[in-house]
A and B are shown apart, each in its own frame.
Chain A
Amino acid sequence: MFDLKGNERIVKRSEKIEDKRVFKSTTDALADVREFVNELALRFGFGDKEVSEITLAVDEACTNVIKHAYKGRPDAEFEVKILATGTAFQIVVRDWGASFRPEEVPLPNIRDKYRKHKAGGLGIFLMKKLMDTVEYKGRDASNEVRLVRYLKNEQKS
Chain B
Amino acid sequence: MNEFKVLTRESGNAVVMELQGFLDAHTAPDLEKTFSELMSKGKYNIVVNFNALNYISSAGLGVFMAYIDEVRNNNGDIKLASMQQKVFNVFDLLGFPYLYEIYKDQDEALKKFNSR
A and B assemble together? yes
CA of A119 to CA of B96 in the docked complex: distance in angstroms?
A: 12
* Residues 13-72 of B at the A interface (beta carbon under 8 Å): 22, 24-26, 55, 57-59, 61-63, 65-66, 68-69
Q: Is A101 an interface residue (CB 8 A)?
A: no
Determine if A28 and B26 form an interchain contact, defined as CB atoms under 8 angstroms apart: yes
CA of A60 to CA of B59 in the docked complex: distance in angstroms?
A: 9
Determine if A122 and B61 form an interchain contact, defined as CB atoms under 8 angstroms apart: yes
Determine if A27 and B24 form an interchain contact, defined as CB atoms under 8 angstroms apart: yes
* Nearest CB of A to B53, in Å: 13
Question: Which of A28, A129, A130 is the one whose CB lies under 8 Å from B1?
Answer: A28
Determine if A27 and B58 form an interchain contact, defined as CB atoms under 8 angstroms apart: no
Residues of chain A within 8 A of B111, CB atoms compared: none
Determine if A119 and B62 form an interchain contact, defined as CB atoms under 8 angstroms apart: yes
* Nearest CB of B to A53, in Å: 8
Q: Is A34 an interface residue (CB 8 A)?
A: yes
* Nearest CB of A to B35, in Å: 12
Count of A-B residue pairs with CB < 8 Å: 77
Determine if B58 and A126 form an interchain contact, defined as CB atoms under 8 angstroms apart: yes
Residues of chain B within 8 A of A125, CB atoms compared: 58, 94
* Residues 14-44 of A at the B interface (beta carbon under 8 Å): 27-28, 30-31, 34
CA of A77 to CA of B7 in the docked complex: distance in angstroms?
A: 34
Number of interface residues of B (CB under 8 A): 26
Residues of chain B within 8 A of A30, CB atoms compared: 2, 24-26, 57
CA of A72 to CA of B97 in the docked complex: distance in angstroms?
A: 32
Residues of chain A within 8 A of B99, CB atoms compared: 110-111, 114
What interface size band does chain A fall in?
20 to 34
CA of A147 to CA of B63 in the docked complex: distance in angstroms?
A: 26
Residues of chain B within 8 A of A66, CB atoms compared: 25
Q: A27-B26, A49-B86 are in contact. Are A63 and B59 (CB under 8 A)?
A: yes
CA of A117 to CA of B89 in the docked complex: distance in angstroms?
A: 21
Q: Is A59 an interface residue (CB 8 A)?
A: yes
Q: Is A52 an interface residue (CB 8 A)?
A: yes
* Residues 100-147 of A at the B interface (beta carbon under 8 Å): 110-111, 113-115, 117-120, 122-123, 125-126, 129-130
| Chain B residues proximal to chain A, CB less than 8 Å | 1-2, 22, 24-26, 55, 57-59, 61-63, 65-66, 68-69, 86, 89-90, 93-96, 98-99
Extra contacts, 14 of them, besides A27-B26, A28-B1, A119-B59 (Cβ < 8 A), are A30-B2, A31-B22, A34-B55, A52-B86, A56-B57, A59-B57, A60-B58, A63-B25, A110-B99, A115-B69, A118-B65, A120-B62, A126-B94, A130-B93
User: 5 A-B contacts, Cβ less than 8 Å apart?
Assistant: A30-B24, A31-B1, A31-B2, A119-B58, A122-B61
